Each structure stands twice: as structure tokens, then as C-alpha cells.
């Protein structure tokens, strides 16, 4: 389980930013004693592989399932982040989860922002999210999985990160034992901010594949570049005044921005398709054992 997420924000953030890829889930290095107390990690063996995983689920955000989601509140991920995580920036309306970013004085930051993470860990399978971003320089809207030293595990991570300075693209990436340099920018037809788009990655023992709106956009098969530890699922929207080379020069948007999520799902390998639009319904090779 995570230890207290408030302690995750300080350690070794700079090491993650040696290159341009993903922004430092060492932000979550300390993760949640609260979650230990809740005892919320219910793991079952993955059908096809040897990584322990929580069960398949679909969440359409008709409500916020507190047994599944931890809402980050009252802390930051380090000096690079210009906003404080705030539960007030996490809201639900008409089946859509919104993570906000707006000017709001919080401790030593001028802005507040939103993040949620699962209390459970997940292994091999298909991870899917349907979401829509806002636009603006200096911000990052992310859907990713992560685990790290706070859980007595190596740092593994699988990313979709939309740098909203350019909403025509999404960056995909993976970190293995804290080593990245697997990033790739891929086109999102029509833009990430004009309509909801479907983002998915399929994690198997011998491959990692990313999809945008059902189209394969990146594949990794090198065993040295594949994660091997069960991870938590995260959504976040945050900004930075300092990471200009990667995220663009931040400018006060003058209004509240949001990352909107209509649905998230995890389907373990070998489990059946859970909803008609799922990638698992259309990609025939999913769920095969190795």
C-alpha cells in the first residue's frame, strides 16, 4: 500500500527531469499510510501471468468510489509544481469526473490543482480512459500507472501525458526501474481539447502497446524496457513555472481549466470485454497467454 502521499513530493524530483519525458512520479515516493489502514489492496493472481493484480473494473463516474480512489489534498510534488493538490479541484457532474486547475492561494502556491489515484494495484491487462483536456501552456494532463520505492518496489510507470501547450499530440512513455527515455509524441486527430478521446495501453509480459482512439501508436517489446511490478492508476492536472523546455512557458489562464474523464477501466488478461467500446472487444490478440 501507499504510505502518506504528502511525503512523496520531495524526494529526488530532479532526477526524473534529466530528460524531457514524464514529470516525476517520485512525486509519489512516499504514498499513503492512510491506505494501509484502509486495507484496500485486494489482489488476485493475474490469469495469464505471475504479477499479482486487483480485479477488472469499469468506472463511469456516476459517483466517486472511495474504496477505489484516493484524492490528493494539501501537498505538492516538489518545487517544480506551481499548484497544490486540492480535493476542491476534484468534482463530479453528469457522469464526468473533472480535475481542475485554477488560481487559488494555497500555502506557498498561487494555484490549486487536482489528482486522484487508485488504492489498488493492477498488473498485466488493458488500461483505458476516455477524457478531454483544456488548452494552455505550462500544464500537464495525465493518465498513467505508477509504483515506486514507497511500496518497496522499483519505480515502474506507464504514461499518457498531454502537454496542453499543444493539444494536437499526446506523449507516451514508460519508466523501468526509474529509467525512462522511451517517450514518443503521437498525433491525436482533432485534438485533445475539442472532444473526448479514448486512450489505452495494453501491458503484457512480453510487450507494451499504446492506442489512441483504437489505433496502435507505439509498441515496446524489449524486455529491458517492460515494467514488471503491479501499479496504481492515476489522473492528474498540474502546472509548472520552471519546466519550460518540456511544458512551455506557463501563463495564468485567467479562468479555471479542467481535465474531464468520462470513463476508466482495467481489464485483466484473459477476462472478457467489459463494455462495448472497450479495446478488448476489438483487438483479437488481447488476453492470449504467453
Cross-strand bridge partners of residue 143: 160, 235
Neighbouring CB atoms inside 10 A of 146's CB total 26
C-alpha cell at position 240: 509548472
Query: Which of 45, 187, 199, 177 lies closest to 132 in space, CA to CA?
Result: 199
Q: Active-site residue numbers?
A: 157, 161
How far is the C-alpha of 153 from the C-alpha of 142, rounded, in Å?
A: 22
Q: Which residues contact 173 (CB under 8 A, 6 or more apart)?
A: 21, 22, 157, 158, 159, 161, 180, 182, 183, 184
- Tell me the C-alpha distance between 204 and 128, whole Å: 15
Q: Are 281 and 271 in contact (CB under 8 A)?
A: no
Residue in the structure block whose three cell numbers are 507494451? 208
Amino acid at each position: 500500500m501507499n504510505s502518506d502521499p504528502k511525503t512523496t513530493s520531495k524526494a529526488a524530483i530532479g532526477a526524473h527531469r534529466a530528460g524531457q519525458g514524464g514529470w516525476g512520479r517520485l512525486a509519489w515516493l512516499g504514498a499513503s499510510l492512510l491506505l494501509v489502514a484502509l486495507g484496500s489492496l485486494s489482489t488476485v493472481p493475474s490469469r495469464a501471468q505471475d504479477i499479482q493484480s486487483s480485479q477488472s473494473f469499469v468506472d463511469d463516474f456516476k459517483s466517486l468510489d472511495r474504496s477505489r480512489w484516493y484524492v490528493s489534498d494539501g501537498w505538492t510534488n516538489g518545487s517544480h509544481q506551481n499548484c497544490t493538490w486540492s480535493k476542491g479541484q476534484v468534482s463530479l457532474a453528469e457522469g464526468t469526473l473533472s480535475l481542475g486547475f485554477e488560481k487559488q492561494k494555497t500555502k506557498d502556491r498561487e494555484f490549486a490543482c487536482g489528482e486522484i489515484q487508485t488504492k489498488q494495484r493492477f498488473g498485466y491487462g488493458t488500461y483505458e480512459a476516455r477524457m478531454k483536456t483544456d488548452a494552455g501552456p505550462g500544464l500537464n494532463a495525465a493518465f498513467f500507472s505508477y509504483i515506486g520505492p514507497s511500496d518497496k518496489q522499483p519505480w515502474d510507470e506507464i504514461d499518457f501525458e498531454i502537454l496542453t501547450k499543444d493539444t494536437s499530440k499526446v506523449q507516451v512513455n514508460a519508466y523501468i526501474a526509474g529509467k525512462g527515455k522511451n517517450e514518443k509524441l503521437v498525433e491525436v486527430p482533432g485534438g485533445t481539447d475539442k472532444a473526448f478521446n479514448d486512450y489505452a495501453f495494453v501491458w503484457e509480459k512480453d510487450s507494451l502497446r499504446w492506442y489512441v482512439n483504437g489505433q496502435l501508436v507505439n509498441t515496446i517489446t524489449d524486455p529491458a524496457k517492460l515494467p514488471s511490478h503491479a501499479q496504481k492508476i492515476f489522473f492528474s492536472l498540474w502546472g509548472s513555472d520552471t519546466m519550460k523546455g518540456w511544458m512551455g512557458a506557463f501563463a495564468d489562464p485567467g479562468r479555471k481549466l479542467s481535465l474531464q474523464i468520462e470513463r476508466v477501466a482495467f481489464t485483466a488478461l484473459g477476462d472478457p470485454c467489459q463494455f462495448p467500446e472497450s479495446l478488448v472487444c476489438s483487438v483479437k490478440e488481447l488476453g492470449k497467454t504467453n
